[in-house]
Amino acid sequence: MKINISNREICTQTNGRFLTEPNDTIIDNISYDSRKIIQSKGILFCALKGHFRNGHLYIENAYLRGVRSFIVSEEIETTDFQDATFIYVTNTLWALQEIAKHHRLKFTFPIVAITGSVGKTMVKEWAYHFLSSKLRVIRSPKSYNSQLGVALSLLELNENCDVALIEVGISKPNEMGRLKKIIQPTIGIFTAFGSAHKENFPSLESHLQEKLALFTDCKTTFFHSSIPLNKEQINIIKGISVTNEALIPYQNEIPFTDNVSIHNLELAVELANEFSIPTLDIHSKIGSLPRLALRMETFEGINGNLIINDTYNLDFDALTQSLEHQFLVANNRQRVVVIGLDDESKSKKNEIERIIAPFHPEKILYLTADSEIEKIENSVLLIKGSRKSDMQKIARQFRLKNHKTYLEIDLNAIRHNLSVFKSYLKPETKILAMVKSNSYGSGTEKMATFYEQQGVNYLGVAYVDEGVELRKQGIKLPILVMNAEEEGFEDCIHYNLEPAMYSFRQLDLFIKELIVEGKTDYPIHLKLNTGMTRLGFEISEIGQLIETFQAQPEVKIKSVYSHLSDSDNLESSDFSKMQIERFEKGCKELSNNLSYTFDRHLLNSEAVCRFPEAQFEMIRLGIGMYGYSSNPDFKSKLQDAIFWKSSISQIKTIEQGESVGYGRTFIAEQKMKIAVIPVGYADGFRRSLSNGKGSVYINNLKCKVIGRVCMDMIMVDITNLEVNEGSNVEIIGHQQTMENFASQMETIPYEVMTSFSRRVHRVYLED
């Protein structure tokens, strides 16, 4: 980003006013996350207000990092920020968009705007693949297509460019009009129209009109022929329907056959034709279209390393974002940058070093796919390279385990789900994210760090040792320990963990430990039984509790909470409402007899949308963050975040009469073909799924388990499939959902997730 603008120009563009005398700083870059500020010269800090964070709370942190220009939407006491310029606006996001709009007006080259329910990122990347052979192309980083992402993408425009590809996404009414004004696209691409975000629009027609609003002033709009537009709509957007005719010259080179990829390719080729890319160039590029996921993946590596695998491309903007991400997750661990070299990137080495230098990693390695790797320990490794450099080979060498069965945790989906929950809450309501039981199987350390970055207010664990591990990993959020036991009290205090108290005996023992440690006003959480009939003080015991707290200065109530036992009962709310009344009664009695206030929390994931009136000061989220709910209407707003995958180890042909597996419980009735898959009951694929009860999906077709599930393997019927050893296998995913799989196991998603073995590799995906 090099926007080259003064504070006075920014104030004029945003219709703002100065809270302080403006300094003479020339702004080259805009930051909205104080944690990512590496060098402060020429930085404008934009204090955005989001679902989880208020950027105004981080102004001091940005100032201490050297930033001296700020744009705010709250009145700021500026006396503590000498020599800093503050520009006040009514809405900081809108102000940022105005800056982006004025920056866009500096350039006359074509802007291609790409929107659609699916396929935006792939069409953008494939179009880049074709156009970059002849043109200087700039494009939205990864999936930067939101109200914020579009503005940041436009701010990357510069004079060394012939065309820009801007990805555009919306989720609510009236968003597209604002984006259109700042993009002012020349050419449009409409990839697909489906059900994504349909719940936020009054009708499909209104949703479609919102999408089309982006293209009303384009000179040309390419839309896929599968989108049902009428003649009037086509005329308004100057639409050209794209069909498979676009691919006729390239039939022999296309490396895939699925309809989604074909549709995306048709649009990318049509855009290449629009920019007069020679047919021979398209021929030469079409066989090497990037097929890797466009998302960064993070996983545990050998020798105590954390690996950030971002080997899709090596353009400079992507490198900067990856370095920022590495800096953010490192938590003071040593940072190592591994750059994959090919012939093209060798010529860019000086520029690559210039970009890396401000981040001051402890080590930079330039490797090829066949390089010998020196031993690296206890570091955060960023592996970056173009597709040609084949750095996936290097990334694979750093993997901790070679188990072919792995979990994908989609952090983008979890971020979306958090936003959905937040939309039901008052702005001041806090969120406690549960990370017990290895964060429902998704990995405690990684998820706790992620939640901390997302701005949740509290973490919840089951036992003290779980909280201790989080503290050792640098987690600073308050941590509530729900089942604090006597043996862990000392660690609880030493690691600043906050235990839940549920009995007088436990409370008395903890107070005695505090007396030994010389502690007063130690934060504890009070657990009430309102109907679950599990751990917790009875409402009738509140009076005795009050006497204890009035007499014991060692403890102070931080929060009072209880559990709803029937929140997923969609037929009746009576019992839950009774629990809410009991909880309110108990909290009121406590509050009336204590000299301080405390937080209250009762709602779990299932209850947030059903009883928003009982959100109190905090809610607790668990499995709902991963996209699971028994409420169909609410479930439709969430995105699944857990995918369990494997691959075929071996394929066998067996004859009629041959048996498969332990106990010979399956005998082939005819000649058939089976696949052996490396997943078993030691991984969480329960033995009860034997003999056709369980299944997996291969090539989108259901394949039943035959014979008994082994500790480390299953065998499935693939008689009617043409697949190879190494082919991908979906255990849980889009074809077989978590709910489907849990139903086969006669259990619930909670048990499935908490049964995932630690030996199953975890991969974290993030845009």
Catalytic residues: 436, 662
- For the chain, report the end-to-end CA distance as a whole number of angstroms: 19
Of 316, 225, 218, whose CA–CA distance to 270 is shortest? 225
Beta-carbon contacts of residue 377 (< 8 Å; ≥ 6 apart):
303, 304, 305
Task: List, in sequence order, every residue forming a beta bridge with 406; answer none if it has no partner.
Answer: 645, 761
Positive/negative CA dihedral, 50, 55, 58, 64: positive
Residue 454: strand, helix, or coil:
helix
Token match 């290097």: residue? 394
533: left (phi over 0), alpha (psi -120 to 50) or beta: left
- Give yes or no for a contact between 505 and 537, defined as CB atoms under 8 angstroms apart: no
Give the dihedral of Cα atoms 599, 604, 608, 609; nearest 10 deg: -170
- Residue 74 φ/ψ, nearest 5 degrees: -125, 150
- Give yes or no for a contact between 138 and 157, defined as CB atoms under 8 angstroms apart: yes
- Using alpha carbons, list the distances in angstroms from residue 357 to 104, 338, 361, 659: 29, 14, 8, 62
Q: Which two tokens stand for residue 729?
A: 């296998």
Of 231, 396, 219, 393, whose CA–CA distance to 301 is shortest? 396
- Give yes or no for a contact between 373 and 417, defined as CB atoms under 8 angstroms apart: no
Strands 728-732 and 642-647: antiparallel
- Give yes or no for a contact between 72 and 90, defined as CB atoms under 8 angstroms apart: no
Stretch (H or E) spanning 506: helix 504-517
Of 437, 439, 436, 434, whose CA–CA distance to 421 is shortest? 434
- Give yes or no for a contact between 126 and 264, defined as CB atoms under 8 angstroms apart: yes
- Using alpha carbons, list the distances in angstroms from residue 499 to 207, 425, 532, 560: 48, 26, 20, 12
- Residue 121 φ/ψ, nearest 5 degrees: -65, -40
- Give yes or no for a contact between 327 and 359, defined as CB atoms under 8 angstroms apart: yes
- Using alpha carbons, list the distances in angstroms from residue 464 to 54, 308, 575: 31, 29, 32
